[in-house]
Amino acid sequence: MKDYRESHKEERIARQYEEVVYRKNSYDDMLWKWEQGVLGCEVKNFKKQKSAISLLDFATGTGRILAFLEDKVETALGVDNAEVMLVHARSRVKKAELLCVDITNLEAELPLGSSASKWQDVLAGKQFDLITAFRFFLNAQPELRNAALRILIPKLRNEHSLFIFNIHGNLWSHRLFSKVWYAMRGRRLNTMTVSEVRRLAKRHGLEIVRWYGFGVKPKFLYRLFGAQFMFAVDSLLSKIPGMKYISYDLIFVCRKKNKNP
């Protein structure tokens, strides 16, 4: 696998996210519509316990998560290592702070023209009540997943703080058929399973307190019957117990394990 750190540093990738991946009524646009519902509900419930929430959005990209949540929290910070993505994020967010930094690779060189010669932990000493990381773990290579979690989990303020991330490619969803199709042509398509996520979380001292799934119906039906209609169908299916196991997009809500239960 190529280093996922380098995957989003070209302007054409940023434009593709904005103009193709998340174009109006695309499949990913419908996933985002559902994700907003989950995130909004989670933050609303969290605020019943803690009124002032500090947010860190890791791998913030073009700023979708950050722009949606910044008005629902007290402070918001987004970090990403791709300046071309953050250009779009800056036009989207209103009050959140944005930093172009690779917090997973402290030995990486800074961009040309920087006054320092090495990255530093710009989050040193900072802690957050809520950390989000969307569209990262599925495609990141295993060592990068581990590096990110080693950096991020200590940034959670305490055992009540939330770490919320998604996997937009559950193996046991309709993505399985795409994976087989790709494999027959000698190509790779990343997938993860709930079991893999559980092992990853456990390895880094996280407890999955709840998780959600959406997207039982395959993408081509969204094109065939219309995105809004299929979104309504998938929304109904997402309420049926057990359907999340075969859903395409999974959202996990985690906390640090309490070492002194």
pLDDT of residue 121: 76
Q: Is residue 261 part of a domain?
A: no
Amino acid identity, residue 153?
A: I
Q: Is residue 115 part of a domain?
A: no
- Cα dihedral angle (181, 238, 246, 28), rounded to 10 degrees? 30
- Per DSSP, the three-state class of 155 is helix
The answer to whether residues 159 and 192 touch, using CB atoms and an 8 Å cutoff, is no
Q: Is residue 216 part of a domain?
A: yes
DSSP string, 24-38: TT-HHHHHHHHHHHH
φ, ψ of residue 224 in degrees (nearest 5): -75, -45
pLDDT at 114 over 70: no
Q: Is residue 114 part of a domain?
A: no
Q: Is residue 110 part of a domain?
A: no
pLDDT of residue 2: 79
Q: Which residue has the higher pLDDT, 122 or 39?
A: 39
Q: Is residue 161 part of a domain?
A: yes
Q: Is residue 154 part of a domain?
A: yes
Which of the listed ranges 89-93, 101-105, 122-126 does the model predict with the highest average pLDDT? 89-93
Lowest mean pLDDT among 45-59, 109-123, 131-145, 187-201: 109-123
Beta bridge mates, 98: 78
- Per DSSP, the three-state class of 241 is coil
pLDDT of residue 1: 60
Residue with tokens 């998340």: 22
Number of structural domains the chain divides into: 1
Banded model confidence at residue 120, pLDDT cuts 50, 70, 90:
low
Instruction: Give percent of the chain with pLDDT exceeding 70.
Output: 93
pLDDT of residue 180: 97
Q: Give the distance, in angstroms, between the CA of residue 14 and the centroid of all CA atoms in the same chain.
A: 16
CATH number at residue 153: 3.40.50.150
Across the range 85-98, mean pLDDT stands at 96
Single out the residue of 105, 121, 128 nearest to residue 56, CA to CA. Answer: 128
Q: Is residue 112 part of a domain?
A: no
Distance CA 48, CA 204 (A): 27
Across the range 25-32, mean pLDDT stands at 98
pLDDT of residue 223: 96
pLDDT of residue 123: 87
pLDDT at 108 over 50: no
Distance CA 80, CA 150 (A): 16
Structural domain for 205, as ranges: 4-105+121-256
pLDDT at 249 over 80: yes
Banded model confidence at residue 112, pLDDT cuts 50, 70, 90:
very low
Single out the residue of 107, 104, 57, 118 nearest to residue 85, CA to CA. Answer: 57
Single out the residue of 100, 31, 102, 42 nearest to residue 64, CA to CA. Answer: 31
Convert the pLDDT of each residue in 162-214 to its tens digit: 999 999 999 999 999 999 999 999 999 999 999 999 999 999 999 999 999 99
Lowest mean pLDDT among 39-53, 100-114, 153-167, 193-207: 100-114
